[in-house]
Structure 1
Amino acid sequence: MRPSPAEIVRTLVAGRLPGLVHLACRPGLHHVRHVTDPDGRVLLLVPVVSDLVPALRPRDGADAVAAVLDVLDLPPVAGAPSLGRALVSGWVRRLDGERARAAALDFAAVAPTGDLLDVGTRFGLFRFEVAEARWERGGEPRRIDPVAYAEAEADPLHATEASLLSHLTEHHADRMTGYLRRQLGLAAGPADHAPRVERIDRYGMLVTFGRPGARRRARLAFGRALTGPADLARLLRPVLGARSASGDRRR
């Protein structure tokens, strides 16, 4: 098992990676703070004193502005492969009143910030439902069905992937190396040939192994989809011993 293209797009646009907004028929790119709500709709938190707010103001009698959110994955460790780029588009509308308050709660659930208390004064909240989604990797664009996008879930490990990998390397390197060798059927060898985990998601781990300059990759599946870091800790506890992947000890 591995993440579907729709799940990857939902993961990338969830709100924990930097995003850029392109506006139709208007030059320039805009850095934005964004999240997606439980239905996959994009929320933008924008300072009222910015170039983006007037750019998001509809023109010529329109009630919304066409926009594209562009998010590029940032690999958690050097040399790890990127998940690619997600581009989702829709019609952006400003939220006011009760709709803005409800959207602020959705935003805070992903990225809590005190600036949400100033929505309506110093900040504006904008939202668009995703009308079109694309996933690009290796220069190959792929269209994602909007229904599949809306029904997909972001990976629950993505936000903590870098810290999880760092913890496994710093505190469990020997046990993880032994475990990975057994899973891959590798004999013992020099330290620079040792297998190591490059990426991790709810379905499994991407492992690199072999001599420097000629390393290969293999994917090890978990057998079931994980629900979050605590679930990963429980899964790896027999491998790592009493100390879990999150650093907790057994009570």
Structure 2
Amino acid sequence: MRPSPAEIVRTLVAGRLPGLVHLACRPGLHHARHATDPEGRVLLLVPVVSDLAAALGAGAEERAVAVVLDVLDLPPAAGAPSLGRALVSGWARRLAGDEARGAALDFAAVEPTGDLLDVGTRFRLFRFEVAEARWHRAGELRRIDPAAYAEAEPDPLHPVEAGLLAHLGEDHAQRMTDYLRRQLGLAAGPAGHAPRVERIDRYGMLVTFGRPGARRRARLSFGRRLTDQADLTRLLEPVLSAG
């Protein structure tokens, strides 16, 4: 079991990673704070005084502008593989009134920044439904069905992945090493050859093992789809608490 391409794209654009916005027929890229609502629509939090606000326009709310949001995954540790790059596009429209207030709550559920209190004065919220989604990884570009994207869910472990790996590698290093060796059928060896978890998601763990300079990777599945971090804790509790 592993995340589908639609789930990976949904995870990358959820709002925890930096994003760049490109506007149709306009040169240049703009840094933007973004999030996605429960339906997968992209929200852009834009300072009133900014190049992006000027490019999007300050006119009536019904005006829509074609935009592309570009988000690159940031691996949790040096040497860990990236999930790639997500590019989603649609027609961004400025929100006002009740729509803006509802969108601010959706944004806060992902990134609770105090700047949301100034939407309508110092900041504006724009929203677009994803009309096209693409996933770029290892030189391959895949188109993702917008309906599949909308139905997918962001991985709940991705925002806390770095902390989870540090916790497993520092506080439970020996128990995790023993567990991984058993799962991979590896004999005990030098410390530099010990297996370690490089990435973790709701479906499993990516493990690297072998001697330096010739390390290999294997994926260990959890056997089911985890719902949240607490579910992972329950799953690993027998391993981490074993005598």
Is TM-score (shorter-chain normalized) higher than 0.5? yes
Verify the 8 A CA contact 1:134 1:143 in the aligned structure 2: yes
What secondary structure sits across from 1:213 in the alignment? coil
Alignment check: 8 A CA contact 2:16 2:159 kept: yes
Quote the residue 1:82 is aligned against.
82
- Residue in structure 2 matched with residue 94 of structure 1 by the alignment: 94
Q: Matches of 1:163 and 1:229 in 2, distance apart?
A: 11
- What is the one-letter code of the residue matched to 2:88? V
Partner SS, residue 79 of structure 2: coil
What amino acid is aligned across from residue 211 of structure 2 in structure 1? R
For 1:104, give the aligned amino acid: A
Q: Residue 146 of structure 2 corresponds to which residue in structure 1?
A: 146
Give secondary structure in 2 for the equivalent of 1:234: helix
Q: Report the Cα distance in structure 2 between the residues aligned to 1:136 and 1:218, rounded to whole angstroms.
A: 22
C-alpha distance in 2, partners of 1:135/1:42?
16
- In structure 1, what is the equivalent of residue 6 of structure 2? 6
Residue of structure 2 in register with 1:180 after alignment: 180
CA contact (8 A) 1:18 1:33 kept: yes
User: TM-score, normalization: structure 2?
Assistant: 0.97
Residue 28 of structure 2 corresponds to residue 39 of structure 1: no
* Aligned-partner Cα distance in 2 for 1:225–1:116: 33
CA contact (8 A) 1:58 1:65 kept: no
Q: Which residue of 2 aligns with 1:20?
A: 20
Instruction: Check if 1:210 corresponds to 2:210.
Output: yes
The TM-score with structure 1 as length reference comes to 0.94
Q: Is the 8 A contact 1:58 1:64 kept in 2?
A: no
2:134 matched to which residue of 1? 134
For 2:204, the aligned partner's letter is G
Matched-pair contact (CA < 8 Å) for 1:48–1:124: yes
Letter of the structure 2 residue corresponding to residue 204 of structure 1 = G
Equivalents in 2 of 1:10, 1:209: separation in Å? 30
CA distance in 2, matches of 1:81, 1:48: 37
Asked whether the 8 Å contact 1:13–1:71 carries over to 2, the reply is: yes
Runs of 4+ aligned residues of structure 1 deviating over 3 Å after TM superposition are none
Q: Could you tell me which residue of structure 2 aligns to residue 249 of structure 1?
A: none
C-alpha separation in 2, matches of 1:166 and 1:15: 22
What is the deviation of 1:63?
Answer: 2.3
How many aligned residue pairs are there?
241
**Equivalents in 1 of 2:69, 2:140: separation in Å?**
18
In the alignment, structure 1 residue 192 sits paired with structure 2 residue 192: yes
Q: Which amino acid aligns with 1:165?
A: L
% identical equivalent positions: 83
Once the two structures are superposed, what CA deviation does each residue of 1:37-82 show, in whole Å capped at 9, x if it has no partner? 00000000011011111100289xx921100000000000110100
**1:37-116 equivalence runs, <5 A:** 37-57=37-57, 63-116=63-116
Could you report, residue by residue, the CA deviation over 1:112-162 in whole angstroms, capped at 9, with x for unpaired residues? 011100000000000000000000001110000000000000001000000
Matched with 1:227 is 227
- Give the Cα–Cα distance (whole angstroms) in 1 for the partners of residues 54 and 122 of structure 2: 14
Task: Give SS of 1:150's match.
Answer: helix
Residue identity in the other structure for 2:2: R
Distance 2:64 2:116 in 1: 22
